[in-house]
Structure 1
Amino acid sequence: MTKNTEDTTSEYHVASFVAYPLLAQLDEVKQAITDVEGSEIHATSEEGKIVFTIEGNSYRDIGTKMDIIRVHKGIINLSPVYHQILDESTGDDVAPL
């Protein structure tokens, strides 16, 4: 039997994204982003681009949260910008992706 180490990870992940929504659904997309635990919007341009981050404890956690947002019907495109990992057991940064 394989042990699930997902719950015992000492990693902290933060990833940033730019979402390109349909302007008519901008408010709904922003709400969908903020509804995801660990997500925070940092800026919205006049053209409707949304810059936000997602925090999580693993690659899988970030990916799951990203997929929840990505499939929203009001999003045209979701582009990853940056992903950083911190090993909380040592306090060291793991190389950014």
Structure 2
Amino acid sequence: MTQEHEYHVASFVAHGRPESSEVLSQEIIAIEGAEIHAVSEEGKIVFTIEANNQKLIAARLDEFKHHDELMSLSPIYHQFLTENEPN
């Protein structure tokens, strides 16, 4: 018998004021499963969140999306894979 497991990864661009990049980066790093891939001088941060399901990604993002220093947050990509594992 096998059990199906999901793996999700979603990418986002956060845009804050340039002087807030460090604060926003620290907040993103604190999100479980998050990884920063690029930070621009203009205050844009490209990052991904990985989780076992889409609801976890949404819940983790909800913690961040109301940050005072954040001007906009855009989803870029979401992919999920399923894997069958023997019990």
TM-score, L = length of structure 1: 0.79
SS at match of 2:84: coil
Aligned residue for 1:35? 30
**Unaligned runs of at least 5 residues, structure 1:** 1-7, 91-97
Name the CA shift for 1:60/1:26 in 2 (closer, same or farther; >3 Å): same
Aligned residue for 1:4? none
More strand by share: 2
**Unaligned runs of at least 5 residues, structure 2:** none
Shift of 1:22: 2.0
TM-score, L = length of structure 2: 0.88
How large is the Cα RMSD of the aligned pairs?
1.6
* Count of aligned residue pairs for this structure pair: 83
SS at match of 2:21: helix
More RCO (CA 8 Å, sep 6+)? 2
